[in-house]
Amino acid sequence: MRSLPLLPPSPDPRSTLTELQALGARWIGPAGAGLSRVGGAGPSDHKAIVLDGQTVMVPIHTAAASASPFALRATGAATARLERDGVVIGSVTFPAAPRFYERTTADGIPYWKIATLHSTDVLATTVLQQCTRYIDRDSSCQFCAIGGSLAAGRTIARKTPAQLAEVAHAAVHLDGVRHMVMTTGTPATPDRGARLLAECAAAVTARVELPIQAQCEPPADDAWFGRLKDAGVVSLGMHLEAVTDEVRRTIMPGKAEVPLARYFAAFEAAVRVFGRGQVSTYILAGLGDSARDIVATCRAVAGMGVYPFVVPFVPIRGTPLETHPPPKPAFMTQLLAEVAAVVREGGLSQATIKAGCGKCGACSTLRAYEGAA
C-alpha cells in the first residue's frame, strides 16, 4: 500500500507573529473599524489583534503594510480573517473602542484626547505632547510623530493631573484597564519631564489603584527616581531606541547629546530605587544597529537588572523615516531568540514587570521567546 506524503510541519507560531509584526498587514474592511492608532507616540499606525490567545500590535497604516503579503479581512464588528497571499491562516479578534472614549471632561475635552487604550488593557498617555527636540526636524528623533497627533487635533498639548486622574478612574471601572503608561515629550528643563510625570502619577494613584510606568529621558538629578516612586510610579522606562553612537547621531541627533554613559549611570541608579526588572529600555531593531550590537547592549543592561524591550522598528507616516524599510522577519526572529536568552540569563522576565510596555509586550514577540529552553 502506497503511503501518503507527509504534510509539512506547521510553522512556528512565534515566527508567524514576528513576521506579521515586522511586515504589517493590509486592512480589508470598513475604514476605522475596531481600535487603531494613526500618528503620535507609542505603537502608532498599528491595530491590536488577538491571535491564538496572544495580543500583538500589527502595523496597518504604514507604507510597508500596504505591500505586505498579510491581510486582515474584516468578518464582523470585532473579528477578522488573517490571510497570507490570499490563503486564510487564522482568525483574529480585536478590541472595540472602550466605553471611556464616550465621555468628556467638564471643560468639554473628549477622554480619548487625554489618554488612549493600548493593546487590550493598558491606558497610555503622553502627558506633554511637545518636545524640545521636535522643534527642529534636523535635531529631532527622525522616527518620532509626537507632533503629528497634536497638529491633527487628536490630542491636547498638556494633560493636567486632574484630567488624567478622571480618565484613569473611568478606564479602570468601565473597561477593566489593568496598568498605565505615562510618557512625555522632553521639556527644556533638567528633570526632562520627571516633575510633570510625578505630579500626574500622584494624582492618578490618589484617585484609583492602578500600577503606573513612567517614561522619560534620564533626568540630570537621580533624586527624581525616588520622587517618582514616592508619587506612585512602580516601573520606569528610559529608552535607548538605538544602541550605537553612529546610529544615535544619525537617527536622533538631539537625543544623542545625552551620552550612553549617562543612560547606564541612570539605569544603575534607577534599579536601586525600583528594583531589578522594574526598569526597562525600549530598543528599536531596524534603525541600523547590528544584531551583535543590540545583543551586546541587551546583555549589558540585563546584567544591571534592566529589562531590554526589543521591538521591530515601524516607519510612521509623516516622519522623515516613513519610507525606511522595516527589519527583515528573519533578522527579528534570530535577534529575539538571542535577546530572550539574555533576559533569562539575567533572571528577568516580562511576567514580573508591574506596569508598562514590557509588561504589556504587545509591540514585540519577545515574550513568546522567553519561555523557550
Euclidean distance between CA atoms 238 and 249, whole angstroms: 18
**Beta strand 46-51 pairing with 79-84:** unpaired
- CA dist 145 and 195 (Å) reads 23
End-to-end Cα, the chain, rounded Å: 40
pLDDT, tens digit only, all 373 positions of the chain: 333 333 333 457 788 899 999 999 999 987 655 445 454 455 556 788 888 888 889 998 888 888 899 999 999 888 999 999 999 999 999 887 899 999 999 889 999 999 999 988 999 999 999 898 887 777 889 898 888 878 888 899 999 999 999 999 999 999 999 999 999 999 999 999 999 999 999 999 999 999 999 999 999 999 999 999 999 999 999 999 999 999 999 999 999 999 999 999 999 999 999 999 999 999 999 999 999 999 999 999 999 999 999 999 988 888 889 889 989 999 999 999 999 999 999 999 999 999 999 999 999 999 999 975 4
Structural domain boundaries in the chain: 13-93, 99-370
How many CB atoms sit inside 10 A of residue 105's CB? 15
> Is this structure's pTM higher than 0.75?
yes
Which is the CATH superfamily of the domain at 99-370? Aldolase class I (3.20.20.70)
